[in-house]
Structure 1
Amino acid sequence: MAEALSHQKFDPSWGAVPPKDTATTPVFEFLRQAAREQPEKDALIFLHKTTSYKELDQCSDRIAAWLASLGLGKGDKVATMLPNCTQHVMVIYGILKAGCTMVPFNVMLKDQEIRYICEQSGAKAIFCLDILAPMVLPVAKDLGMLAAATVHATDFSEPTAKVPPLLAMPKQDVEGAVDFMEIIASDQGPVPLPEIDPENDLACLLYTSGTTGFPKGAMITHCNYNHAAGLLVDLIDMDDTDRLYMLFPLFHVAGQTLILFPAVMAKATCAAIPMFDPEDMLDLIQRFKLTFGFAPPTAYIGLLNHPSFAKFDLSSLKHTLASGAPVPPALQDEWQQKVGTYLYAGYGCTESTACGPGIVEMVNKKKPGCGALGVCTGEVKVVDENGKIVPRGVVGEFVLRGEGIVQGYWQNQEETDKLFTSDGWWYTGDAGYMDEDGFLFFVERIKDLIVASGYNIAPAEVENYLYQHPAVLEAAVIGVPDDYRGETVKAFIVPKPNVQASEQDILAFCKEKMAAYKAPKVVEFIDELPKNQSGKLLRRMLRERDSQ
C-alpha cells in the first residue's frame, strides 16, 4: 500500500454549510446591501452605544466623499492608527468606497515605525486618535500628506460604559487636523463611485513582521477578503441573529476577516472591544447576549481566571474560537466545562487572510484533546527542504494555497518571489505535521518570528532599534516561553567596552523606541554572540542557552 502523503484539500462537508461564491463583489457592497435590507439593524456596539447599518453606510459615504474632495481615489493609500471603535469601522468602509487602499497599523507603534509604514506605503492621508496626533502629525507633514483627521473614541459612547483610561482623556483640539465628527456631520459632496476590479484592486496593505527587518506590506484584494470572510460565514453558518465580540484589532487580519467582514456579510452585529479587560468583556457578553467571536488563547485564560467569572451569564455564546497562538487542550477542556461551548482552535496568517486558507477545527471535523490545529480551509501540503511532500507523521513546512492568499508584498519583489509561487502556493515558514486522520499539528517556526499575544515580532526589527543604544555593541533577540503571552521577547546584549548600561536602561530605551508588545521584557548581557564560521548569528544556540 502506498504511503499516505501530507497533502489535503478542503472538504465542504466539514463546515456547517457548503461555501458560496462571494468573491466578485467589492467589499463595501455588502455594507450597502445590509443598509438597504435591514437599515435599522444594529451593525455596531461600542462603549454600549449602538450604530445601525443605515448610519454606518451614511457616515462611511461622507468619509468617502471627503477623501474624494481631497483628490484621492482609486489606488491611493490612506492610513489609519485607530483602536477598535465605531469610527474605525466607518473609516475602513469610507476608504474602500472611495476606491482607496487602507493602510491600518497598530496604535502602539512609535514615530520611527509610523514613518516607515507611511513612507513605504505612500500614504496620502491618515486617521488617528486625537491623543496620538502629537506623534503622527509631524510624520504626516514631513511626508507631504494631504490631510490628517483625528478621532476621539468616546464621541460614540454611552454613560453606562466602562471607558479604558487611555480613551477617557478629554477630547483634544488638534491644530492642523480635521475632527472626524465634522466630516460625518454634514454633506461632503457627491459619493464617489469607483469601478472596482475585485480580483486585482487592492483593498488593503497590511504590514506584517518578517525575519529580515522592517515590516512588509501584504497586498490584499477585495477578492481575498471576500473569500476569507464568506468561507467563515458558511463554516459556522453565521446569520443576522449573531452578535460578535471583536477583540482582535482591526489593524490585524483576524479583526478584519474573522469578525468585521463576515459580520457585515451576514448582517450580524459587532461589539467592538478597544482594549482587553476581562470583567468588561464578561459584562459585554452578558449585557448584549453575544453569540460568537475569535480571541487569542490568552483572552480566554484571562476570562476564566477572573475572580468574578462565575457571576456572569455566558449562555448566549454559540461558537467560540481561539487563534493567534497554540491553544492548549487543557484550556479547551476548562472552557467547555465552565461555559458549555466548545473552544475551537485555529491557525492563520496575514498572507492567507487568516482563514482563506487557514487551518481550523470545524463543526464536523475536529479532534478534541490532542492539540491539533484542525484541517485546512483551502489546500495544504507539508514539504521538506526540497519542496517535496512528506509522508504523514513527518515534520515539514506548511505550504498553503487558496483564493485568500495575498498578492505578495508591496514594493518588495525579492521577498514575494522567495515565498510565493507562480501556481499559488505560499510558504508559511511554520513547521508541523499531518497525522493519519488528516489533522495538522504545529511544531515550531522555521523562521525566527516571535509571536507574543498574537502579534508577530521580527527579531531583526527589534535588533535594529537596540543598535541605536550607545552602549550596545551587538544585539540579538529571541522568543522565550511565557505562560500568558505564549512568547515574550528576550534580548542578548554584548556591551561596548567601557560603556555602562543596566538591564533597566536597555528596557527603558526600548519602551521609548518601539511598540510595547515588541519591546524586550528581559535583557541578558553576554561576552559574545554565538556565530558560525561565516559570522552568521546562531539564534538556535541562544534558545538552547536560555532553556538550560
Structure 2
Amino acid sequence: MNLATLLRNQAATQPDRIALRAGEQTLTWAEWDARTDAAAHGLAALGLPATGGHAARVAIALPNTVEFAVALTAVLRAGLIAVPCNPGLTPRELRHVLADSGAQALLATPDLLAGVAGAVPHELSALPTAAAAGELPASADEQVAVLLYTSGTEGAPKGAMLPHRALLANHRQLGAVEPPLLGAADTVLLALPLFHAYGLNTGLGSVLWHGATGVLVPDFDPAGTAGAIAAHGVTVVVGVPQMFLAWSTLPDVRERLASVRLAVCGAAALEPAAATRFAQLTGITVQVGYGLTETAPVLAATVAAPSAKPGSIGRPLPGVELRLVNAAGEDVWRGGSALLDDDDDDDPDLAVPDSPGTDPGELVVRGENLFLGYWPDGRGGPDADGWWPTRDVAYADGDGDLFLVDRLGELILVSGFNVYPAEVEQVLLAHPGVAQAAVLSAPHPLTGQQVRAIVVPAPRAELTEAELAAHCARNLARFKCPARIEFAPELPLSVIGKVRKSLLRE
C-alpha cells in the first residue's frame, strides 16, 4: 500500500468525482489514475538503474500543479523514489540536491532545466508516457518513497528518507483523532508547497487518503487564494502563519472564508494574538500542529487535546509516543501511546503524569511515522528502540498540553543561565511596532554569550533601540534582555516561513 495505491482505490470507487482543481483545470480520480499509469510505464521504459541498494531517484521541481501530482504518483507507482525539489532553488542549490541524491532524472520547467544542464542523465520537461508493458514493481512498506531535503535553516540541506510506511502511518494517526478531521466530502486548499512534507503529505496525501478534492494554488497571494476558497467552497485549510496573517488584512475575509470549517497552522509558531485576531475576523479557530520533515510530518496537534490553549501545540497524536528529556538524559515527562497495544512493549504505559508541569526538555519521539534516517546510509535516524530526538525543546503543563520553547542548538548561555530565543522573540513581537523578530547568540568576553536581536519594524512604526530595550526590561529578566538590537527591512525566510538563522549569523 502506498500513495499511488490509494489513488488506484479512489479511482475504482469514485472515478468521475473531481480529485484536483488547478485554476480552470480539473482532474477526476479516473483521469488522475490513467495519467499516472501512462507516466509510470513511461518512467519504467527509461530503465533507470538502482544504486546503493535503493531504487532510482526522480527529482520533481515543479510548482503546485496537476503535473506535480501526476509525477509524484507516477514515480511511486513505478517503484522509484521521488525527490521533490523547490522550483525556486538557484541552479547551484538544485545541483547540490541532484548530486547528493544521485537523481537519474529531473522533471522541471525548461528554464530550470537549462540552468542545470548535464546534471542528470534524463532531463524531462514533460513526463514520458508509454502503454502498459507488463507489471510494474511492487513497493515494500519500508522502501523509501520520497527523499525530502530539509529546508537548511541550520546548514546544508539533508535528505530525509521517508518510507511508504511512514507516509501512510501519519494518516492512520490523524484518522484516530475524534471526531474525524476530514472526509471524502471535504475540499482541501493545497497552497503549501508540495515539495515540503507538510504540503505533500498533510495536504496532498490527505486528499488521496480520504478521497477528498484538492484545490492547487501555485503561488500564494491573500486575495487570490481567498477568492479560490470562496469559488470552490474550500472546507479545510492547511497553512502557515504568514497565510493567516495575510488573510487577516482582507476587508471581506469573513465572507470569503465562510466555507472553511477546519483551519490548521503548522511549520512555525502562530502568535496567540494573531490567532485571536483571525478568529475574531472570521469566526474560525485556528488549530495548531507540530511536526518535522522526518516525522511525515505531524507529531502533535491541538485537535488531539480536549481544548486548545493559547501558545500550545496540543498533545501527541494517537500512535505517537513522546518523552521530554533533560540535559542529564533523564525523562521529565512522557506522553502519548502506541496506536495499537503491543504486548512486547517494554514501556506500554506512557500516560500523562499527574503533575503541575515540567521543566523544559528535548522532545524525543517514537512512532510508525518516523523516517529511516538521512540519505544515503540512514545516519541520524531512530535508535534501536525506535526513539528519535527532534532537537526541539518543550515543556508540558499539568494537563499534558505541550508548549514549544526553542531549538536545542539555539540555546543561549549567558553567565551559565539558559536563554531561549523564542521567549525573547515573543516579548519583542508583543510590541505593537514590531512586525518580525529573530534572536541569536553573540560572543561576550565576560558572560560567554549575549543576546542579539534583529527586528523588522511594522509599517509606519517609528521604533528606537532604547524603546525596545525598555520594553524588554519590563518583561524579561536582565540576563535575557538583548544586549544588541538591530533593525532590518526583512528577515531571510525558508519557503514555509521559518527564519533562516544560519543566514543571519553569516
Distance (Å, rounded) in 2 between the aligned partners of 1:259 and 1:303: 19
Distance (Å, rounded) in 2 between the aligned partners of 1:521 and 1:364: 31
* 1:402 is aligned to 2:342: no
SS of the residue aligned with 1:58? Answer: helix
* 1:296 is aligned to 2:240: yes
Aligned counterpart for 1:362 among listed residues 294, 303, 306: 303
Distance (Å, rounded) in 2 between the aligned partners of 1:483 and 1:252: 29
> Could you say which residue in structure 1 is the equivalent of 2:344?
none
* 1:68 is aligned to 2:44: yes
Alignment gaps of 5+ in structure 2: 334-356, 412-420, 423-437, 441-451, 459-488
Distance (Å, rounded) in 2 between the aligned partners of 1:107 and 1:263: 23
Matches within 5 A, 1:52-131: 52-72=28-48, 75-131=55-111
SS of the residue aligned with 2:3? Answer: coil
The amino acid of 1:76's aligned partner reads A
Aligned counterpart for 2:173 among listed residues 231, 247, 253: 231
Identify if the C-alpha distance between structure 1 residues 132 and 519 changes in structure 2 by more than 3 Å, giving closer, same or farther: farther
The amino acid of 2:248's aligned partner reads L
> Could you say which residue in structure 2 is the equivalent of 1:38?
14
The amino acid of 1:108's aligned partner reads G
Displacement, 1:38? 0.4
SS of the residue aligned with 1:28? Answer: helix
* 1:337 is aligned to 2:280: yes
Q: Does the CA-based 8 Å contact 1:108-1:516 persist in structure 2? A: no
Cα deviations by residue, 1:438-459 (Å, 9 ceiling, x for unpaired): 01101111124999xxxxx9x9
> Could you say which residue in structure 2 is the equivalent of 1:218?
160
* 1:376 is aligned to 2:341: no
Cα deviations by residue, 1:257-314 (Å, 9 ceiling, x for unpaired): 211111111110011111111011111110000000210011011011124435x332
Displacement, 1:516? 12
Structure 1 residue runs of 4 or more that deviate by more than 6 Å after TM superposition: 514-524
Distance (Å, rounded) in 1 between the aligned partners of 2:409 and 2:49: 37
The amino acid of 1:148's aligned partner reads E
Distance (Å, rounded) in 1 between the aligned partners of 2:233 and 2:498: 35
Distance (Å, rounded) in 2 between the aligned partners of 1:67 and 1:479: 50
> Could you say which residue in structure 2 is the equivalent of 1:468?
none
Q: Does the CA-based 8 Å contact 1:279-1:308 persist in structure 2? A: no
Distance (Å, rounded) in 1 between the aligned partners of 2:194 and 2:154: 25
Distance (Å, rounded) in 2 between the aligned partners of 1:134 and 1:482: 36
The percentage of counterpart residues that share the same residue type is: 29
The amino acid of 2:369's aligned partner reads G
Aligned counterpart for 1:270 among listed residues 193, 211, 214: 214
Q: Does the CA-based 8 Å contact 2:240-2:497 persist in structure 1? A: no
Cα deviations by residue, 1:150-194 (Å, 9 ceiling, x for unpaired): 1xxxxxxxxxxxxxxxxxxxxxxxxxxxx44xx45xx44426421
Distance (Å, rounded) in 2 between the aligned partners of 1:445 and 1:521: 11
The amino acid of 2:246's aligned partner reads G
Cα deviations by residue, 1:360-403 (Å, 9 ceiling, x for unpaired): 101652333x3111101111111112321126320111111111
> Could you say which residue in structure 1 is the equivalent of 2:271?
328
Aligned counterpart for 1:193 among listed residues 122, 130, 136: 136
Q: Which has the higher contact order (CA 8 A, sep 6+)?
A: 1
Distance (Å, rounded) in 2 between the aligned partners of 1:97 and 1:401: 28
Matches within 5 A, 1:468-507: 480=454
Q: Does the CA-based 8 Å contact 1:230-1:265 persist in structure 2? A: no
* Deviates most, 227-236 or 260-269: 227-236
The amino acid of 1:70's aligned partner reads L
Distance (Å, rounded) in 1 between the aligned partners of 2:123 and 2:401: 47
Distance (Å, rounded) in 1 between the aligned partners of 2:373 and 2:270: 29
Aligned residues: 408
SS of the residue aligned with 1:274? Answer: coil
Matches within 5 A, 1:151-190: 179-180=126-127, 183=128, 187-190=130-133
The amino acid of 1:35's aligned partner reads A
Identify if the C-alpha distance between structure 1 residues 129 and 123 changes in structure 2 by more than 3 Å, giving closer, same or farther: same
Aligned counterpart for 1:430 among listed residues 370, 388, 392: 392
Displacement, 1:48? 2.9
Q: Does the CA-based 8 Å contact 1:365-1:375 persist in structure 2? A: no
Identify if the C-alpha distance between structure 1 residues 118 and 353 changes in structure 2 by more than 3 Å, giving closer, same or farther: same
Identify if the C-alpha distance between structure 1 residues 381 and 479 changes in structure 2 by more than 3 Å, giving closer, same or farther: farther
The amino acid of 2:326's aligned partner reads D
Identify if the C-alpha distance between structure 1 residues 302 and 95 changes in structure 2 by more than 3 Å, giving closer, same or farther: same
Displacement, 1:119? 1.1
Q: Does the CA-based 8 Å contact 2:241-2:497 persist in structure 1? A: no
SS of the residue aligned with 1:61? Answer: helix
> Could you say which residue in structure 1 is the equivalent of 2:194?
250
> Could you say which residue in structure 1 is the equivalent of 2:148?
206
Identify if the C-alpha distance between structure 1 residues 113 and 303 changes in structure 2 by more than 3 Å, giving closer, same or farther: same
Q: Does the CA-based 8 Å contact 2:154-2:501 persist in structure 1? A: no
The amino acid of 2:101's aligned partner reads S
Q: Does the CA-based 8 Å contact 2:154-2:500 persist in structure 1? A: no
TM-score of the pair, normalised by structure 1: 0.69
TM-score of the pair, normalised by structure 2: 0.74
Displacement, 1:342? 1.6
Cα deviations by residue, 1:39-83 (Å, 9 ceiling, x for unpaired): 011110111321101111011111111111101377110001111
Identify if the C-alpha distance between structure 1 residues 517 and 337 changes in structure 2 by more than 3 Å, giving closer, same or farther: closer
Alignment gaps of 5+ in structure 1: 1-24, 151-178, 452-456, 460-477, 485-506, 525-538, 543-548
Displacement, 1:133? 2.3
Distance (Å, rounded) in 2 between the aligned partners of 1:223 and 1:516: 25
